[in-house]
Amino acid sequence: MANRLGQRIRYGVEAVGLRDTGDGVEVQAERAGRSVRFEADRAVCTVPLSVLEGLSIEPRMPESKRAAIEDIPYDTATRTFVQVGRAFWREEGVTGAAYTDLPIGTVYRHPGHTEPEPSERTILEGYATGEAAVQQADRPKEETVEQVLQGLEQVHPGIRDYMEGTATKAWGRDPYALGRASFPGPGDVTSHLKALQAPHGRIHFAGEHTSILRLTMEGALRSGIRAAREVDNAG
C-alpha cells in the first residue's frame, strides 16, 4: 500500500491541528521543528481519542463529540519480547503460549500462525495490561526485561540459556497512542458511538474507537471504509 501511494505519504510529520475553512480543510503540522501546512477538500482523522483530545480543531466541535472524546477511557499495555535461538519447549509438545497470573501477563509466541520446530529461532512475548503494564512502563527497561525473564523462567525453565535479544513497547508512553485501545464501559457505546462517527464539517473520523468492534484491526478497517464512503458521497 505504501509503495502504491509513493510520495503522497509524508513521514516524520506530526499533526497538531485541523481547521475547516468552509471550502476545505487545513492540517497544521510540525516537521523537524518547523511548521508545515497541508490543504485538502476533506480530511479523515484517525488518531486515538487519547491523542485527539490534545489536537486543536476549528471550528469548535459540538458538545456531544467533545463529551465522547473525554468520557471514553483507554486501556494500556506493555509488551516485552524475548528472542530465543531455539523453541526448546516444543520438545515437551507445548506451543509456547500461556495464560498466567504472573505480572508478565499473557505469553504469546511469534509468529503465532505456525508451530516452530524445536531447533528453530522464535520470539516469546510477555503481554501485560492494566496496572501491571503501568508499573512496567514506569521502570527502567532493564528492570522490566528482568521481571519478564523471571516470569518466563517459571513458564519455560531454561529460557535464559537460549536468549538472543529483547525489546519492549509501552503503549501508554507512546505520545501518538497514549494507551492500547479504547476501553468503553457499560453504556459508553450506546451514549457516544454516533457522536464519535459523525463528521465535523469537512473533517471525518475513523479508528477502532469509532466502531463497535473495539480493540480490533477489523474494527479499524471497517471504520476506514465507512469514512471513505462518507467522503465519496460528499462529492
pLDDT digits (tens), the chain, 235 positions: 889 999 989 999 999 999 999 999 999 999 999 999 999 999 999 999 999 999 999 999 999 999 999 999 999 999 999 999 999 999 999 999 999 999 999 999 999 888 889 999 999 999 999 999 999 999 999 999 999 999 999 999 999 999 999 999 999 999 999 999 999 999 999 999 999 999 999 999 999 999 999 989 999 999 999 999 999 999 7
Torsion-angle region of 116 (φ positive above 0: left; ψ -120 to 50: alpha; else: beta) = beta
**pLDDT for position 1:** 86
**pLDDT for position 112:** 86
> What DSSP element (H or E) covers 127?
strand 122-129
**pLDDT for position 235:** 76
CATH of range 77-173; options 3.40.50.2000, 3.90.660.10, 3.50.50.60, 3.10.20.30: 3.90.660.10
Which fold is adopted by the domain 2-73+183-234?
A: FAD/NAD(P)-binding domain (3.50.50)
Q: Say if 2-73+183-234 and 77-173 have the same CATH topology.
A: no
Q: Which residue ranges make up each domain of the chain? A: 2-73+183-234, 77-173
**pLDDT for position 115:** 87
**pLDDT for position 114:** 86
pTM of the model as a whole: 0.88
Torsion-angle region of 149 (φ positive above 0: left; ψ -120 to 50: alpha; else: beta) = alpha
Name residue, grid cell 519480547: 81
Q: How many residues does the chain have?
A: 235
d(CA 127, CA 99): 10
